[in-house]
């Protein structure tokens, strides 16, 4: 059996919250990521989906060490990297890249496209002199941009073009794993389709492994081999994309899918939606037991007493619900 390229084991990222300027006192702890275990195999695309604020982006940043882990481990290529010192992690960083949600915020407005794409090549000693120019030209063509635009600045491009530049920058170091953190959520629908098709083509062309993060289940279903559903810092469902999308077992996943618009107006009027109670709880003060039970239409008193683990409900399909046999 092939060993996973990325292995997360009980990953936790907690942030203490303080009040006061002179006498600081601890108000509590935000449990942004709270015990996530997930494997991503070589060549696989795993979609991570959930509402805004559920911990998806924090998890992505923890994997690439932009935020520190509170507990658990991050394994990459069979090696634990969460505890590595920075000089040792620097040798791994080129093989582990992140594409951010907002390309305009992630691109330096004072750097031309050429400078933005050439910088990682120079920093990691992969190219110099004329070879840099050739590599930058190849990267721009790879993502569907004309090399003649390499001397332009980010503000001179559209949102979709800026995201192509951000993807090219992530691919400059020929990574093994790319984490795409909501790369299409800030784009128009027509541009979203172009970027998704670009990512799918690059995945096949370069043999990429992807952790694709989004809040739109239909987008994740289009691109992913497996889907992981996250709620309040925990995984509540995990399985093959078709199984999770067409036969969801967790009430939260059912609610997400029922919120996807249907193009047929007749079906849209007659289909049943899963109505959720209240607003999502704060990760600063999560509910006891199952984190979803205050909003769950099928909640029972015992749901508030214990945190359900992910349990098998089919071939490679898991869900965290004490009513799993009834769903």
122, two tokens: 């120079």
Higher pLDDT, 279 or 67: 67
CA–CA gap between residue 82 and residue 68 (Å, rounded):
8
pLDDT reported for residue 327 = 62
8 Å CB contact between 75 and 81: yes
User: How far apart are the two ends of the chain, measured CA to CA in Å?
Assistant: 32
* Lowest mean per-residue pLDDT among 119-123, 130-134, 180-184, 185-189: 185-189
Query: What's the average model confidence in pLDDT over 47-59?
Result: 93
Q: What is the pTM of this model?
A: 0.92
Four-point Cα dihedral 116, 118, 121, 126, nearest 10: 170
Which pLDDT score is estimated for 268? Answer: 66
Q: How many CA atoms lie within 13 A of 159 on its CB side?
A: 14
Q: Give the tens place of pLDDT for each residue, 232-258.
A: 999 999 999 999 999 999 999 999 998
Domain ranges of the chain: 43-71+88-224
Whether pLDDT at 143 is above 80? yes
Side-chain half-sphere CA neighbours of 160 within 13 A? 16
Determine contact, residues 49/60, Cβ cutoff 8 Å.
no
User: If you search the block for the tokens 């809040």, which residue do you land on?
Assistant: 215
Q: Averaged over 214-231, what is the pLDDT? A: 92
Q: How many CB atoms lie within 10 A of CB 109?
A: 9
Alpha carbon dihedral 293, 218, 246, 315, in 10-degree steps, equals -80
Tens digits of per-residue pLDDT, 149-201?
Answer: 999 999 999 989 999 999 999 999 999 999 999 998 878 888 888 999 999 99
Provide the pLDDT confidence category of residue 1 given band limits of 50, 70 and 90: low
Q: Are 214 and 182 in contact (CB under 8 A)?
A: yes
| Percent over 90 (pLDDT), the chain | 66
Token reading at 202: 């690059």
Q: Would you state the pLDDT for residue 190?
A: 82
Residue 53 region by backbone torsions, left for phi larger than 0, else alpha for psi between -120 and 50, else beta: left
pLDDT at 146 over 80: yes
Residue bearing tokens 């942030």: 15
Lookup: tokens for 224: 């992913």
Helix axes 130-142, 113-123, angle to 10 degrees: 120
What DSSP string describes 205-220?
Answer: HHT-EEEEEES-HHHH
The pLDDT of 135-158, averaged and rounded, is 94
Q: CA nearest 99: which of 176, 188, 166?
A: 166
Candidates 3.40.50.1950, 3.40.50.300, 3.40.50.2000, 3.40.50.2300; CATH matching 43-71+88-224: 3.40.50.300
Strand partners, 79: 76
Mean pLDDT across 287-310? 91
pLDDT for 235 equals: 97
């Amino acid at each position: 059996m092939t060993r996973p390229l990325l292995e997360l084991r009980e990953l936790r990222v907690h942030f203490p919250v303080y009040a006061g300027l002179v006498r600081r006192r601890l108000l509590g702890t935000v449990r942004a990521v709270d015990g996530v275990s997930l494997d991503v195999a070589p060549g696989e695309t795993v979609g991570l989906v959930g509402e805004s604020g559920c911990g998806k982006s924090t998890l992505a940043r923890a994997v690439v060490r932009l935020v520190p882990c509170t507990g658990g481990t991050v394994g990459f290529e069979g090696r634990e990297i969460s505890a590595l010192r920075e000089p040792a992690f620097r040798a791994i960083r080129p093989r582990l890249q992140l594409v951010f949600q907002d390309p305009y915020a992630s691109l330096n407005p004072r750097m031309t496209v050429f400078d933005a794409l050439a910088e990682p090549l120079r920093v990691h000693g992969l190219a110099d002199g004329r070879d840099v120019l050739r590599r930058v030209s190849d990267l721009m063509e790879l993502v569907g941009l004309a090399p003649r635009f390499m001397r332009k600045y980010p503000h001179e491009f559209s949102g979709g073009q800026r995201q192509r530049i951000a993807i090219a920058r992530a691919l400059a170091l020929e990574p093994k794993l790319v984490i795409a953190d909501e790369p299409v959520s800030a784009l128009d629908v027509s541009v979203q389709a172009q970027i998704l098709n670009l990512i799918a083509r690059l995945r096949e062309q370069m043999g990429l492994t992807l952790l694709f993060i989004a809040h739109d289940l239909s987008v994740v279903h289009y691109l992913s081999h497996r889907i992981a559903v996250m709620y309040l810092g925990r995984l509540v469902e995990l399985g093959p994309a078709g199984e999770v999308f067409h036969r969801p077992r967790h009430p939260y996943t059912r609610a997400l899918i029922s919120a996807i618009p249907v193009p047929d107006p007749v079906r849209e009027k007659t289909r049943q939606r899963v109505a959720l109670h209240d607003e999502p709880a704060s990760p600063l003060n999560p509910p006891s037991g199952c984190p979803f039970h205050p909003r769950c239409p099928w909640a029972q008193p015992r749901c508030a007493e214990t945190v359900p683990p992910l349990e098998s409900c089919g071939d490679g399909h898991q869900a965290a619900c004490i009513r799993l046999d009834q769903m």
